[in-house]
Amino acid sequence: MKKLLALVAVFALVAFAAPAFAANPFVDVPMNHWAYDAVSHLAAKGIIQGYPDGTYRGNQPMTRYEMSMLVARALATVDMEKASKEDAEMLKKLVVEFKDELDALGVRVDALDERVAVLEENLGGWKFWGELRFDARWADEGDGAYDRGYYTHRGETEFDLNRFRLFMSKQIDDKTKFTARIGRNNADDEGLKWERYFATIQLPWDSFLMVGKWNYDWEGEAGLYIDEDAWFTDTTWKGFYWRKNLAKGDITLFAAHTEDKYASGWTYVDLGDFYNYGARFNFNMNDKFRIAISGLYFDYENDGVARSYNEHDVIGALPYTLEDYGTYWADFGITFSPGFEFKGAYYVQDHDGPSGVPHFDDSPNAYKAIIDVSQDLLNFTSLWIEYAKFDPNFQIALQPWSAYGAELTPNLTAPAVLNVFETEVIFASLQQKWSDKWVTYQRYGQFNHDPESYAGLTGSYDITNWTFGVQYWYTPTVMFELAYDDVDYDNGWRDNIDSSLKDDSLIRFRTHIFF
């Protein structure tokens, strides 16, 4: 009787995993027995095996060894995504109770505990998490480099929300998960908005599909930037995103559509409706070398329709048209030793460019090369050294506005609406983690722009930017940061065009909370 009662307790945990029952293999458990269903189900799942003579001997007392075998087999069988909270708690108690016996059987109890904990976390419905960043900023100039621009001026002093994000997710079943994010991203956003909402569907052949409004970041996955310095990816689209995992890499495809509206990051250019397609093949040849090929293509529904820039365009509000275009790149990573990597990327664009604009390069290129060394290898600091170069007009709808420190300083690599410059970048970033509480960091950037005699302009346009910051982790979820940023514009001919680009400095105190 004790043996059958223990069996029924385990049956209660795994019964939901398979609704159909196989025939009872034990001769001493008749069909009219009260435990018949439990015995049949657990025998079909391989959790109980009985004796060589075909009996189960349910009236015999069960040893702790036999019970531990049931627990181990149940853990290997149970589908915790469909279990109730009570089921998960019961299974966890069984793991704790029979820890020694499971240990003696060679079962990794620590791994079982971890599995139960992870699976239990998804039970019962929704999960919520998020972050809050609040900034106090003091700039030296009220209308200088740290001002927001032509439409929303920040002034010398600003206390405002930098970011609020609330994530939520629900594991719908073993193949479908829903994720969403509501938030406010900067001082310009006066209200909350749904920034992401998508379902992730597990498909056959080790692949998955995201449907809805999702974010993707191929450059981040390749380790091609730090902080918020992506050039093209780390963007959010509405559409379909599919990835197939391979033994040594992955293949990704997506298709998205944007309705008639201003482009992300451009508050003054109407791009019209367009489709955006993307493809990426990423391959790890071994643990030392990785290579990937990626492409983005923009297909405008009304390409060739004349539009115009606003009055602040350095070109002078010229009419223009947008044609279909593509951006393609190859990136790689070479790991010389743990913590020491050389990586880079080469980008090519193909477009006709805006009509009526002279000296336009319709196939500009860009590239970057990076040395990335961890603090574990150097002991006292991490080190990131990067060299990058942009051809003139290397940008149409997707510009590297956020590259190289836009979190603090804007207009480092794209000081004009149309990038008519050949731009060279030398960028370095260091970080020192002194303890679990204290972190310091430094950033330096030199950005040299050559107009290449565009519209009769001569001379260079150079920018120097450096940053020093200190972070203090008050708790694992609360961080305070004090940063000083300085930008020096060697304006040259630009002085008479844009007076906001002048030498400036900024002190920022940030409170960052994770929850």
d(CA 452, CA 456) in angstroms, rounded, equals 9
Q: Does residue 429 sit in helix, strand or coil?
A: strand
CA distances from 466 to 114, 216, 446, 472, 504 (A): 44, 29, 9, 21, 11
Cβ distance 258 to 274 under 8 Å? Answer: yes
C-alpha 238: how far from chain center: 16
Average pLDDT, the chain: 74
* Angle (nearest 5°) at CA 163 between 158 and 166: 150
Domains assigned to the chain: 2-121 (no CATH), 126-514 (2.40.160.10)
* Ramachandran class of 149: left when φ > 0, alpha when ψ lies in -120 to 50, beta otherwise: left
**Is the pLDDT higher at 218 or at 18?**
218
Residue with tokens 């609406």: 417
pLDDT at position 226? 86
Taking the alpha carbons of 155, 157, 160, 162 in that order, is the dihedral positive or negative? positive
Can you give the pLDDT at residue 137? 87
pLDDT single digits (tens) 17-47: 444 444 555 555 566 554 455 555 556 655 5
Query: CB neighbours of 40 closer than 8 A, spacing ≥ 6?
Result: 21, 22, 23, 24, 25
* Helices (H), ranges, 15-138: 36-44, 64-77, 85-97, 99-104, 109-121
- One-letter amino acid for residue 146 of the chain: Y
pLDDT digits (tens, 9 = 90+) for 315-359: 333 445 556 788 999 999 999 999 999 999 999 988 765 555 555
d(CA 139, CA 151): 18
Structure tokens at 399: 């510009």
Q: Please give the share of the chain, as a percent, with pLDDT higher than 90.
A: 34
Q: Which of 166, 90, 86 is nearest to 123 (CA)?
A: 86
Higher pLDDT, 173 or 264: 173
Kindly list the distances between the CA atom of residue 111 and the CA atoms of 78, 82, 94, 98, in Å, as whole numbers in the listed order: 15, 20, 14, 14
Across the strands, what pairs with 53? none
Mean pLDDT check: name the lowest of 175-179, 444-448, 471-475: 444-448
Around Cβ 80, how many Cβ atoms within 10 Å?
Answer: 20
* Mean pLDDT, range 138-150, rounded to an integer: 68
41-76 confidence digits (pLDDT tens):
556 655 556 656 666 555 666 566 566 666 666 666
Nearest in space to 466 (alpha carbons), one of 440, 486, 493? 486
The stretch 305-312 carries a mean pLDDT of 44
* pLDDT tens-place string over residues 464-474: 888 999 999 99
Q: What is the predicted pLDDT for the residue at 150? A: 43
Residue 154 has pLDDT above 60, yes or no: no
Q: So what's the pLDDT on residue 287?
A: 87
Q: Label the pairing between strands 382-390 and 274-284.
A: unpaired
Summarised one tens digit per residue, pLDDT across range 278-295 is 999 999 999 899 999 999
DSSP reduced 3-state for 507: strand
Least confidently predicted of 138-152, 195-209, 387-401, 489-503:
489-503
At 381 the pLDDT is 96
Pick from 234-238, 253-257, 308-312: least confident: 308-312
Mean pLDDT value across residues 85-107:
64
Q: Which pairs from 445-449 meet CB under 8 Å and 24+ separation?
A: 445/404, 445/405, 445/412, 447/404, 447/412, 447/413, 447/423, 448/423, 448/424, 449/415, 449/421, 449/422, 449/423
Q: Quote the CA–CA distance of 186 and 237 in Å, as a whole number.
A: 19
- CA nearest neighbour of 413 among 501, 300, 513, 282: 501
Low-confidence winner among 97-101, 258-262, 308-312 (lowest mean pLDDT): 308-312
pLDDT at position 105 over 50: yes
Distance of alpha carbon 21 from alpha carbon 6, whole angstroms: 19
With cut-offs at 50, 70 and 90, classify the pLDDT of residue 414.
Answer: very low
User: What global pTM score does this model have?
Assistant: 0.71
pLDDT at 415: 42
Check residue 318 and give its pLDDT: 42
